[in-house]
Amino acid sequence: TDRKKLHTAPVRQVFRLRPFHVLVATGGGYAGYRKYEHYKLEQLEKRGVEVPVKLASEWEVALYKSVPTRLLSRAWGRLNQVELPTWLRKPVYSLYIWTFGVNMKEAAVEDLHHYRNLSEFFRRKLKPQARPVCGVHSVISPSDGKILNFGQVKNCEVEQVKGVTYSLESFLGPRISTEEMHFSRAPPGNSFQQQLVTKEGNELYHCVIYLAPGDYHCFHSPTDWTVSHRRHFPGSLMSVNPGVARWIKELFCHNERVVLTGDWKHGFFSLTAVGATNVGSIRIYFDQDLHTNSPSYSKGSYNDFSFISNNNKEGIPMRKGEHLGEFNLGSTIVLIFEAPKDFKFNLKAGQKIRFGEALGSL
């Protein structure tokens, strides 16, 4: 009779699951399964086996989006800022170097103890002679990476990888007003693609470069041009590795991205930095007002900033090879530009490229 009564909660309360937990668990598990599928496809491609394109359905994309990648990316960003004890730096960075094949001999500072946290290590600078800038060709690679696709833009559609496209207008957003550009625009009755081409006889070209986690994370100006406008699209932060890009149509239109537009000697020119999982931070050195991966945003929204109306009507002049911005971890750069019909790319799909090497020329 002196024993204390043991009170137990009903089983249904103990095992009660909240909808958020179910979404995270289900979405995370499915994302892991897709990662494994993509790994198998990559192995087949390395053996020379042609893999047919299989696009994700709407429910698969929605399930992937249910994973809180933006929250995880912000948490990863904060973790990267934590200063590591000196004794721990070399083991941690050495593991990363071994995993992703980083060449530290190219780094401006090779001593691993110099980097106080992971963020500093990811954004390490290179020795000046490590990436000579090609002076012969008119357009160079803005970053290290892998060429996913390139060529002419056709029917207002751009290929993110072979056989998988996205809408040019969805990716860049509505046409920028004529007052914000140095050059005249085509009449509004033409297609979106035709409105970007300013000179008769020119064509619109594109090039997609994927930055892997082990690549140099800064990106540079691919040519001599003037940046007139910045458009920031908040959005998802899904993985942009080639396997996912082959699986999700219009992946780059779903993800957060920063579109820089302006002009070069042949007309329209744009560079877009696309965010990805754990890459919520996109930094443009001359744009202090840009803040990416904010906690909340409206779906389908974007914000504009004019460097002409806010910079003495001149825009931001960039020289070929000049530092432009940086990612955390790795992501994708998309170039869309106007050039004469005899412009030729000196590339092969799937090839590795380094900052400063030629993309193409006239």
Is residue 156 packed enough to be buried (19+ CB in 10 Å), middle (13-18) or exposed (0-12)? middle
Q: Map 151-212 to HEC letters.
A: EECECCEEEEECCEEEEHHHHHCCCCCHHHCCCCCCCCCCCHHHHHCCCCCEEEEEEEEECC
Q: Quick one: pLDDT band at residue 264, thresholds 50, 70, 90?
A: very high
- Please say whether the beta carbons of 137 and 358 come within 8 A: yes
Closest to 137 (Cα-Cα) out of 322, 357, 323: 357
Q: Quick one: pLDDT band at residue 14, thresholds 50, 70, 90?
A: very low
Question: Distance between CA atoms of 24 and 112, rounded to whole angstroms?
Answer: 36
DSSP 8-state class, residue 49: P
pLDDT of residue 75: 82
pLDDT at 28 over 60: no
Annotated catalytic residue 206: no
Q: Exactly one of 38, 206, 217, 220 is catalytic; which is it? A: 220
Q: What is the pLDDT of residues 72-119, one digit of tens each?
A: 878 877 888 889 999 999 999 999 899 888 889 999 999 999 999 888
Closest to 73 (Cα-Cα) out of 248, 251, 333, 328: 328
Question: Distance between CA atoms of 44 and 215, rounded to whole angstroms?
Answer: 23
Q: Name 99's Cβ contacts closer than 8 Å, sequence gap at least 6.
A: 214
Annotated catalytic residue 289: no
Tokens standing for 313?
Answer: 């009507």
Q: Exactly one of 141, 239, 281, 331 is catalytic; which is it? A: 331
Lowest mean per-residue pLDDT among 27-41, 99-113, 238-252, 324-338? 27-41
Question: Distance between CA atoms of 172 and 181, rounded to whole angstroms?
Answer: 15
pLDDT at 17 over 70: no
pLDDT of residue 7: 53
Q: Reduce the DSSP state of residue 32 to 3 states and report it.
A: helix
Q: Measured between alpha carbons, how far is residue 324 from residues 15, 24, 93, 155, 200 in Å?
A: 51, 36, 26, 30, 30
Backbone angles phi, psi at 352, to 5 degrees: -85, 140
Annotated catalytic residue 73: no
How far is residue 103 CA from its own chain's centroid? 22
- Please say whether the beta carbons of 302 and 284 come within 8 A: no
Q: Exactly one of 138, 144, 228, 229 is catalytic; which is it? A: 144
